[in-house]
Structure 1
């Protein structure tokens, strides 16, 4: 991998480049009335969340990581040409999002906006009042029935968690079909960035999902039964990808990724591990993350019941060979060629262990082998990691953690070394 070539070739190799998203307009629009629909457990003190996020970014930059902000990338991609902007607007402004009567007028108006203004509202949301839609009430039920502060385009506060809509697996990327309706539009924004931003536009790389040549629409009509999110996806190295079968990622979509990567020779094995479907678990990386080449952390109740299957290429093109593994730990050791994988459990007694898992106590993000970022508040787990030789760089997450995500959740690595 050259310095200019995107690709994520492990979970713990030296991190070179990463995309994050600083809390913005959408968080000011998170209220007690809509927070459940937007998948948050509480509203955020936005200015504090921004300060916490800025400190998080600074820790990465101090360690030599090049950090890109998602909203800035989206604005720059939108400004690369009229056709790019038109494509983005047509993907976002549909009869499903604004209603059929408003499609044309909303598209026409947004097409005249700058990339910066459009990116602000594609992520932050657009209200009837901001759009000035009052004069359209005679022609649109959506316009007539909404109060001035009703959203024509919804806010996307979960953009904070850049891990999920796009996931780099070795030399290619998956633009993920998100499970919840509230997050569908995030993938469109990531698609615009990956297809049209100058950082990616001149580079030849495969898309593991959707397949090359398929229509790049991300909505209820094109998803079908597909569901996959980046918090479940881990390119652990040595030609292996671990994917959690969780609340938000299903087996049929894992098969799509496997077939796509096997056909390109980009992976030799996919380890699919069962993650109980619950709000506290959500994704694989809320209960398990790598810390070093031969060290990981896990929430013990998950590990005790983590049934796994390994997928390998079948004897015919597009076919798979599926076999059950003895255990998750054994499958990981085999895949990485390790004689020993040290799995460090969440810290504290049973009660504290459960509290820290809930507060992203297993959601660490490696900057290099044995150097990870995690929330300061998980004191028992952080102490235990340090006792096992892991350097833990602590960040504050009192506000950032209210959407149930930690350091790994908030990052989309786009360049990371192999191990």
Structure 2
């Protein structure tokens, strides 16, 4: 069994991370908005914080795999994939990269060590690194030599988004922003060619599909039920398409999807920035979404299609019904203090990674929400977050579970 994830809370056994690398040092003020950052993290401190995150997981029995190692292993296992991988990467990098595609291709092909190659694609390439003896074109004469012709991918340490594990399969996503679309290439090559995953993992969604969907919006409530956010980055059309594929896929147990319509704004970019599960019957939630939240339920219609109805009951009631529980507790991020709720939601107070029922990894900076979780009987494992939080993502965003116990 290559992948098995049927809940948000089953004991976590194996997880995919990416340790932040030089791509963060290639952020500059002029590119922050385009590359989806609000500030520039200090790399050395971000790596130290991420190492604490990884060590917290391993200390609690979780096997940590790294995206860069799996991708390097894929290329090592089959060296013939290298030119195709590089061509795909350049093709997805945009018009400027295509303008220099032969020079980029040669530069990357000359890198012999597979992991070094993978890290280089993540970090980016600027014009001065290309082998061009003279400035012979208008663009070369006008553009500065430190301009990136292959832009960095600084969002990679949020491994949750490019693909989402659902049961024994994967939704390989179409990313909302063009700057993140290269991230799915690593997942596609790993899932298609790595010996641990090849021919073992059904794909329920593909980056070639026209509608955007990201992993931060997909929550496994149980083997039969998903919650998916209609958000800034996931469209209702994508949810309908994923639902249709899941419902028609032989061996897939999912028969119900709750589509939660949250405000389309950067602060709430994904469902898991405002709503995560922390125990069998407990969820964290940002109270700011409750007044406007609309809930839709998608299910099989009996003839191979998808039936959709709007649920008008409160969220906790709908969750209790679907999870067959007497009641569900919604734990408010920041408690009853609106200012604390807004501040701690911005710093991912609601973005918890549950590693076992009632046991979560959280950012230490969200002290009010963390104490409220403890008051509700939840074990809280705090990790430092001064630099990691600058990317606007928390422990759940930074992790892609590959194996959970049932």
Relative to the length of structure 1, the TM-score reads: 0.91
**How far apart are residue 97 of structure 1 and its match?**
4.3
**How far apart are residue 84 of structure 1 and its match?**
1.7
CA contact (8 A) 2:349 2:362 kept: yes
* Corresponding residue for residue 213 of structure 1: none
CA contact (8 A) 2:163 2:170 kept: yes
* Corresponding residue for residue 170 of structure 1: 167
CA distance in 2, matches of 1:242, 1:250: 14
* Corresponding residue for residue 123 of structure 1: 122
CA distance in 1, matches of 2:135, 2:99: 10
CA contact (8 A) 2:100 2:149 kept: no
> Could you list the per-position Cα deviations for residues 61-104 of structure 1 after superposition, in whole angstroms to 9, with x for gaps in the alignment?
00000001111222222222233212211211128344554323
- Aligned pair count reads 400
CA contact (8 A) 2:259 2:298 kept: yes
Aligned match of 1:19 in 16, 26, 39?
16
SS at match of 1:135: coil
Aligned match of 1:251 in 212, 216, 236?
236
**How far apart are residue 33 of structure 1 and its match?**
2.0
CA distance in 1, matches of 2:284, 2:107: 50
CA contact (8 A) 1:306 1:327 kept: no
CA distance in 2, matches of 1:260, 1:7: 18
Aligned match of 2:45 in 35, 45, 48?
48
> Could you list the per-position Cα deviations for residues 171-217 of structure 1 after superposition, in whole angstroms to 9, with x for gaps in the alignment?
1001110001111111112212222223312x52210112xxxxxxx
Q: Which ranges in structure 2 are unaligned for 5 or more consecutive residues? A: none
Aligned match of 1:77 in 74, 77, 88?
74
2:263 counterpart of 1:276: yes
**How far apart are residue 142 of structure 1 and its match?**
5.3
SS at match of 2:226: strand
2:204 counterpart of 1:208: yes
Q: Which ranges in structure 1 are unaligned for 5 or more consecutive residues? A: 211-217
* Corresponding residue for residue 36 of structure 1: 33
**How far apart are residue 106 of structure 1 and its match?**
2.6
> Could you list the per-position Cα deviations for residues 312-344 of structure 1 after superposition, in whole angstroms to 9, with x for gaps in the alignment?
112322x11111112332222122111111111
Q: 1:141 to 1:7 in 2, by over 3 A?
A: farther
Deviates more, 1:52-61 or 1:35-44: 35-44
CA distance in 2, matches of 1:42, 1:53: 17
SS at match of 1:179: coil
* Corresponding residue for residue 232 of structure 1: 217
CA distance in 2, matches of 1:356, 1:40: 18
CA distance in 2, matches of 1:77, 1:136: 37
> Could you list the per-position Cα deviations for residues 110-150 of structure 1 after superposition, in whole angstroms to 9, with x for gaps in the alignment?
23323122201211111122233x23743x66555432211
CA distance in 1, matches of 2:209, 2:244: 18
SS at match of 2:266: coil
Aligned match of 2:285 in 291, 298, 308?
298
CA distance in 1, matches of 2:99, 2:339: 54
CA distance in 1, matches of 2:144, 2:209: 31
Relative to the length of structure 2, the TM-score reads: 0.94
SS at match of 1:8: coil
CA distance in 1, matches of 2:26, 2:268: 26
2:191 counterpart of 1:194: yes
* Corresponding residue for residue 394 of structure 2: 406
Q: 1:263 to 1:343 in 2, by over 3 A?
A: same
